[in-house]
Amino acid sequence: MTSANSSADRLPRLLALVPYLLARPGIPIEEAAADFAVTPRQLRRDLELLWMCGLPGYGPGDLIDLSFESDTVTVTFDAGMSRPLRLTAAEATALLVALRALAETPGVVDTAAVRRAVAKIEAAVGQARPAGVAVGLAMREAPETARVRDAVADGVLRGRALRLRYYTPSRDEITDRVVDPMRMLLVEGRSYLEAWCRLADGVRLFRLDRIDAVDVLDEAASPPPHAEPTDTSEGLFRPDPSQRTAVLVLEPDARWVAEYYPVEGLVELPDGRARVLMRYADPAWMVRLLLNLGGEAHVEQPAELVSEVARQAAAALRRADHLPAT
Amino acid sequence: MAIARAERLVNLVLCLLSTRQYLTAERIRSIVPGYSDAVTDEAFFRMFERDKTELRDLGVPLEIGRNMGVEGPDGYRIARRDYELGDIDLEPDEAAAVALAARLWDSPQLTGAAHGALIKLRAAGVDVDQDVHVAVEPKVRTSEPAFPPLLAAVQEGRVVEFDYRRPVPVEVRRRTVEPWGVVAWRGRWYLVGHDRDRRAPRCFRLSRIVGEVAALGKPGAVERPESVDLLSFVARSQPATQDVPTARLWVAKGRAQGVRRRARHVGEREFDGEVGDLLEIDLRFPDSAAGWIAGFGADVVVLEPELLAKTVREKLLGALRGAGVRA
């Protein structure tokens, strides 16, 4: 919050503060600060500044007046600033596009409430023209995933532990485990359950389409207090320096790898190719990925990965050649 | 310095809101505290220009005009009806939806804007509780480098130009597009607009844009057709899902769990001297099936259809080449 004091950040807050306080006489300063995402100290500075502002004349009866009582504040004269400024086009877009996306996605919130909110905000904002941004949150998913979703959502909302049968692609392994659900996430078209995994003793994201069976248990969900939700802003996968590193050259068609997995040091090459450093924990998984990419990725390093890919590809080809001719 | 500026700007807004008359710059200079700091005319006008720009950037509707029957330079005022957010009253379930919507973005461009919107709604007396508990928390990221310039171009109505990569056959070509909107669909971002080279509406995947996006010409030059529904345009442009083909596979005993969990067991068979299971699987995503199966190496062999077996073979040959082996 280094920029809380710069005028570009501060002016919108100053203009919103008086009407905000007007609607909430006697609000604790701490609560107001939290709503504006600033420290109580910063909010007090803002109030001190507003106290110096007012109408031409700038005498005692012209200035914004605030009364403080213990740690609360009340506006006693608003100098004509009783309503907030209209939403800018960018603000209206950010909010309305998100709301419309929610309205089109069943199972997240009550879509009827979302539609009512959209109508009210549109009316208040007076923005007739729809924004040039649209978001569809729906994803392509198998029918069995929809059933998994219902059971998982039930566990999350009722705060019940879940028993999962889960497929871990990195080890090509199916395991049963009990988890304490925290929330469900819908990121880049895929659904995840975020939960405390008692097997792994940590917070894990479980992709719903990899859950093969789920039971909602009678036991209450109890993630430990130190279970922190995943910060999704930098993507779901974090580079982990303790992991191995592969050097790959991605053909244009394999560029999605650089978007989906944590890669570093991307270097653009001619014809839309790119060289990247990619972290991986499990060599078997990395070999599967490279076989999957089928030549759309050239693996340069490490040498043992190069030879393992070559060995497995050759073995698979040899075996496929045993097919009786049809 | 910054503090004095914020104070001056708040006073300027209050002053212009409270007047019905247009106030000239000179008049504002003599009334609003802070402008007297400017000793020269030039310093004052520089200061005043900067302040006007900042207010406009915030969306403050500055009106310019001249009072009836008065000669001289134009003046300024703020019409209250254009400045103030209209009445809004949200029920608790509606406010919960708004709180969730504001949390949707993981985006430098949109997170801040959504937060700004929330602040104004709260200032309008709406109680938007941040601690909404929902089963699913949707998140939308805008990490594509092309997103910020395209969003800006869409909002300004400017034509854009960029290099676009087509996968089959691989070619990179310069495209000139009148952008109508940016659309997130099934976890990917697309640009929808009128392709000037093809003279038709087209949809472009942002991840296939190579290098910089250049905005050309004047703002307001692009007119989005009223009738276009961005989301369904992108949805229609996607290949339709056809009938789901079925494949028969041989899978080595106890191997390839990722395949087994999706397949039906139909028998056992020894193959290449190894015991294994015969499985049937519905190829729901046929375009990615070959790569997925190739990933399991010698543990999975495609028995039919032949086309799939051939594509898997090509993938494996490709992987050999990718590992530097001349096949």
Q: Based on the structure, what is the number of domains in chain A?
A: 4
Task: Judge if A73 and A99 occupy the same domain.
Answer: no
Query: Angle formed by the axes of helices B306-322 and A283-293, to 10°?
Result: 120
- A298-319 per-residue burial string, b: 16 or more CB within 10 A, e: under 16: bbbeeeebbebbbbbbbebbeb
Task: Judge if A94 and A155 occupy the same domain.
Answer: no
Query: Angle formed by the axes of helices B147-156 and B108-123, to 10°?
Result: 50
- Report how far apart, in Å, the C-alpha atoms of A289 and of each of A298, B48, B248, B260 are: 12, 60, 22, 18
Q: What is the CATH number of the domain that holds A28?
A: 1.10.10
8 A C-beta contact, residue A208 and residue A227: no
pLDDT of residue A129: 55
User: What's the pLDDT tens digit per position in A217-230?
Assistant: 999 989 888 888 77
Q: How many CB atoms lie within 10 A of CB A200?
A: 11
User: What's the pLDDT tens digit per position in A17-71?
Assistant: 999 999 999 999 999 999 998 999 999 999 999 998 999 888 888 999 999 888 9
Contact check, Cβ <8 Å, B151/A190 = no
Task: Judge if A73 and A91 occupy the same domain.
Answer: no
Probe site for chain B from A10, A135, A275, A305 (most B CB atoms < 10 A): A135
Residue A315: inside a domain, yes or no?
yes
Strand-pairing partners, residue B137, are A185
> Is the four-CA dihedral B167, B169, B175, B178 of positive or negative sign?
negative
Q: What is the CATH number of the domain that holds A203?
A: 2.30.30
CA pair distance B115, A123, nearest whole angstrom: 19
Task: Judge if A209 and A183 occupy the same domain.
Answer: yes
Q: Could you tell me which residues come within 8 angstroms of residue A176 by beta carbon, excluding any fewer than 6 positions away?
A: A163, A164, A165, A166
Residue A326: inside a domain, yes or no?
no
Strand-pairing partners, residue A45, are none
Residues in chain B within 8 Å Cβ distance of A88: 58-59, 113, 116
Domains of chain B: 2-83 (1.10.10), 92-141 (no CATH), 160-216+225-237 (2.30.30), 246-322 (no CATH)
Task: Judge if A40 and A60 occupy the same domain.
Answer: yes
pLDDT at position A7 over 80:
no
Contact check, Cβ <8 Å, A184/B135 = yes
Looking at A46, A77, A108, which one is the last position of a domain? A77
- d(CA B21, nearest CA chain A) in Å: 14
pLDDT at position A6 over 70:
no
What is the greatest pairwise CA distance in chain B?
103
Contact check, Cβ <8 Å, B297/A153 = no
How many interchain CB pairs under 8 A, A with B?
A: 432
What Rg value do the Cα atoms of chain B yield, rounded? 30
What is the greatest pairwise CA distance in chain A?
99
Q: What is the CATH number of the domain that holds A254?
A: 3.30.70
3-state per-residue secondary structure call for B229-296: CHHHHHHHHCCCCCCCCEEEEEEECCCCHHHHCCEEEEEEEEECCEEEEEEEEECCCHHHHHHHHHCC
Looking at A220, A253, A274, which one is the last position of a domain? A220
Residue A129: inside a domain, yes or no?
yes
Residue A7: inside a domain, yes or no?
yes
Residue A226: inside a domain, yes or no?
no
- d(CA A299, nearest CA chain B) in Å: 6
Task: Judge if A124 and A165 occupy the same domain.
Answer: no
User: What's the pLDDT tens digit per position in A177-192?
Assistant: 999 999 888 877 778 8
Question: In this structure, which amino acid lies at residue A118?
Answer: V
The rounded percent of chain A whose pLDDT value lies above 90 is 37
pLDDT of residue A2: 39
8 A C-beta contact, residue B95 and residue B118: no
Residue A225: inside a domain, yes or no?
no
Task: Judge if A248 and A316 occupy the same domain.
Answer: yes
Residue A227: inside a domain, yes or no?
no
Which domain covers residue A106, as residue numbers? Answer: 87-138
Smallest CA–CA distance from B287 into chain A, residue: A292
pLDDT at position A326 over 60:
no
CA pair distance B326, A90, nearest whole angstrom: 54
Q: Among A183, A180, A215, A217, which residue's Cα sits nearest to residue A200?
A: A180
Q: Give the CA dihedral B81, B82, B88, B93, nearest 10 degrees.
A: 180
Contact check, Cβ <8 Å, B141/A235 = yes
Task: Judge if A166 and A196 occupy the same domain.
Answer: yes
Q: Among A217, A141, A147, A146, which residue's Cα sits nearest to residue A176?
A: A217
CA pair distance A112, A109, nearest whole angstrom: 9
Name the pairing type of β-strands B200-205 and A173-187: unpaired
Task: Report the predicted TM-score, pTM, of the whole model to 2 decimal places.
Answer: 0.71
User: What's the pLDDT tens digit per position in A245-302?
Assistant: 899 998 877 877 887 777 888 888 877 788 999 888 888 889 999 999 988 888 898 9
- d(CA A228, nearest CA chain B) in Å: 15
Q: What is the DSSP letter of A269?
A: -
Per-residue pLDDT of chain B (327 residues; tens, 9 = 90+): 445 789 999 999 999 999 989 999 999 999 998 888 888 999 999 999 999 999 998 989 999 988 887 778 899 999 999 999 988 999 988 998 899 898 888 887 788 889 999 999 999 999 887 666 666 778 888 878 889 899 889 988 899 999 998 765 667 899 999 999 999 887 788 999 999 999 999 999 898 888 899 999 898 888 888 788 888 888 877 765 556 678 899 999 988 898 998 888 888 888 888 889 999 988 877 668 888 999 999 999 998 888 888 889 888 988 888 888 765
**Interface residue A174 vs chain B (CB under 8 A):** yes
Residue A131: inside a domain, yes or no?
yes
Residues in chain A: 326
Task: Judge if A57 and A97 occupy the same domain.
Answer: no
8 A C-beta contact, residue A257 and residue A244: no
